[in-house]
Structure 1
C-alpha cells in the first residue's frame, strides 16, 4: 500500500473507543481553557465593579455630608466690637489707621499732639488697654499695641 492508496477510514486508530475518548479529552481541555479565561475575565470585572461601587459610595457620603452641612444653622456671627463713645477713642483709632503699625502710649501721645506728662500717658495707656480688652486693638507685647489683622 502506498500513501495514495489510504482511505480516510484507514487514518483512524484501530480502536474506535480510544479515538472517541481522545476527542472527548481534547474537547474537555478546550472547554476547561475557556472556563479559566472566562473566570479570569469575571475576576477582573468583579474587581472593577468593586472599585466603581466604592467611588459611588464616596460620592453618596459626600452628598449626604454637604446636605447636612447646608441644613445646619450657621453659627451666629460674633458682634463687632463697639468703640466707646468718647472722641479720644476715635482719635486713637484714626492715628492707628494712618500709621498702620504698632505704637506705645508715649508714641501715640506724640502723634496725637498730647502733653507728655506721666498722667496723660497713663490715661492714654488705660484707653489702649480698654480697646485691647474689647478686641479693637491687640497688645502684641506689654505696652505695645496694634490693630488686629483682618
Structure 2
C-alpha cells in the first residue's frame, strides 16, 4: 500500500509537469500569435497600398468625366479607405480596371449565351459552390448592377449591360473592325 505522503509527492510532481507543459505551450502560442499579427499587418498594408494605387489609376483615367465622381458610395467604409473598388461604369472605362474577381465575373457573362444566376457563375470563376461563395458572388453581381456594369432584368439573373458603342464589352475602347 502507498503511503499518503508518497501519493501527495506523486501528484505534486504530475501537477508540476503539467504546469511546465502548459508554460511551453503558452510560449509556442505567443510566438505563433506574434507571427500571425505580423502577417495580418502585412496584409493590411498591402490592401491599403493596392487601394491607393487603384484610386490613383482611376483618377488618372484619360477619358474620365470631370462631373462623374469616382466615389459614389455614400455608405461608410469599415476600413476607412474611402475608395470605391468598383467604379461606376462610364464611356471609355474598361473592365480591366476592375479587381480580378469582378473581371472574372464580367468574362463569364461575356461568354454566356444569356443571363446567368450567381450559382451558375461561381464554379465558372473557380470557386466552390458553397452557400457562402454564392452569396458573396451575388453581392458582387448586385454591386456591378448598381454601378452600371451589369443588368438584372429578371430577379437573380445577371447579364452584361448593353453598350451600343462598344463591340467588346470587356474593353470599350476596342476599335471597330479590328481583328487583333
- Give me the TM-score of the superposition, normalised by structure 2: 0.37
- Give me the TM-score of the superposition, normalised by structure 1: 0.44
The structure having more radius of gyration, on CA atoms, is: 1
